[in-house]
A and B are shown apart, each in its own frame.
Chain A
């Protein structure tokens, strides 16, 4: 093929026969195809490396907790929790800006150690669980502040109203569990005003400011 190419180049193009021209085009076409295939292969080989840089985790609901703290009758702090937390985390250690967090909490899973009160909290007076079955946080921007501490900005959907929220999130630990799964722990604590989310009932009796603590344990998913 190389010899043919050399002969072709030495000749004046005007002297080339139709057969010779078609052979040259075919050779050029084959070469382009080979280069393209090599490039695609190269990109495909690099892709897993790129994906490997950002690990995907699934939140472990049985080891994750969302606790809320609110003032009752302007006297004491009252605590409650949500039992059903799901979601996923994409963690890019090299480039935290590529990371993301999505957490969904089932409103129905509220637990204050009193079934009657839980029913009341699920009703239209407070969380209105039938109309707003989910509390959701979706990150939009993650910045690393220092090692293991991140500033997570995103949107919090509560009681059907979505508001911007910025929280400081700390990586509390990571490592392999006895079953060989790789786990990572995160924690954040922040305050919101329930009236900002349309929960305006009984603001005198039950405080407007609610402090939330979220502890997440997530399991890495092998791709």
Chain B
């Protein structure tokens, strides 16, 4: 049973995502357009199917929305790349996507638990949080070296999985694990410049999946709010590293330092969830 879980939840998404990246690299000697995020999206979808079965259409529960949001994020950003919009349109699109995702994830609570006013407050607040996370990650992706971001992202998502496991939902934890596995080949490829620049392309998918899992964990399981706060801080590690001037060091050192800087708040997030669980 454990082997099956590891195979479907970890190996399968990593193999799907890695194979697509490898084929693309062999064909074009680089990772073109949105292949990287399509690989990540397909890897995660394969992992989701292995863990919780094929998502139904329309989505039956909030966790399934993370799959559809990832697919939509790939479609929208592919269209966005094809047509050059103004920077302002970029932000409007991101804000719309964030609020839409928040609405679809929290709709059951609006239906059964909240008043319209409460629903408006929570949905707009959560939408604003996703938007902020998106802006933060995009800002980090604009830095020349992408290794700090890839290692911080990988550490944060992996610890998100462990935190979710101790927040009452093994399935959400495994989904975060599947996403980590799908992200791994892209993060490893970031060590090989210039192909490392492809990692910028995974941002929309990463933001919607990670935010979607955190929201599921907080509202539908028992993920403590402080755990989410520390995981957010963990994602900011590349900014601290840049501020400390570490980005001038070798790529491996950069990755190690950022990974450690990200692991400290991530561990705190996990510790809080464990204490809450025990």
Contacts and interface: CB of A to CB of B under 8 A. Distances in A.
Contacts, number: 60
Contact of A123 (B1, B4, B222): B222
Contacts of A201: 51-52, 170-171
Interface stretch (B24-32, B55-63, B73-81): B55-63
Interface of A: 119-120, 123-125, 128, 130-133, 159-161, 195, 198, 200-202, 204-205
Given A123-B168, A124-B216, A198-B56, A131 B61 contact: yes
Contacts of A159: 60-61
Given A119-B222, A124-B171, A124-B220, A160 B60 contact: yes
14 contacts: A124-B63, A124-B172, A124-B216, A130-B108, A130-B220, A131-B61, A131-B109, A131-B220, A132-B61, A159-B60, A159-B61, A161-B60, A198-B61, A204-B1
A160 B112 CA distance: 12
A130 B106 CA distance: 10
Contacts of A130: 108-109, 112-113, 219-220
Dominant secondary structure of chain B at its interface with chain A: helix
B246 interface: no
Contacts of B56: 198
A198 B60 contact: yes
Nearest to A122: B168
A201 B172 CA distance: 11
Interface of B: 1, 4, 51-53, 56, 60-63, 108-109, 112-113, 168-172, 216, 219-222
A40 to B, nearest CB: 43
Which 8 pairs between the two chains have the least Cβ-Cβ distance? A200-B53, A131-B108, A125-B171, A123-B168, A123-B169, A123-B221, A198-B60, A204-B1
A135 B108 CA distance: 15
Contacts of B169: 120, 123-125
A73 to B, nearest CB: 8
A205 B170 CA distance: 13
A94 B76 CA distance: 62
Contacts of A205: 1
A201 B173 CA distance: 12
Contacts of A128: 61, 220
Contacts of B113: 130, 133
Contact of A124 (B62, B109, B112): B62
A17 to B, nearest CB: 70
Contacts of A202: 170
B160 to A, nearest CB: 15
Contacts of B63: 124
Given A128-B220, A198-B56, 19 more contacts: A119-B168, A120-B168, A123-B169, A124-B63, A124-B169, A124-B171, A124-B220, A125-B171, A128-B61, A131-B61, A131-B108, A131-B109, A132-B108, A159-B60, A161-B60, A198-B60, A201-B51, A204-B4, A205-B1
Contacts of B170: 120, 125, 201-202
Contacts of A124: 61-63, 169, 171-172, 216, 220-221
A166 B222 CA distance: 36
A205 B172 CA distance: 17
Contacts of A120: 168-170
Contacts of B60: 159-161, 198
A201 B219 CA distance: 19
Contacts of B62: 124, 131
Contacts of B172: 124-125
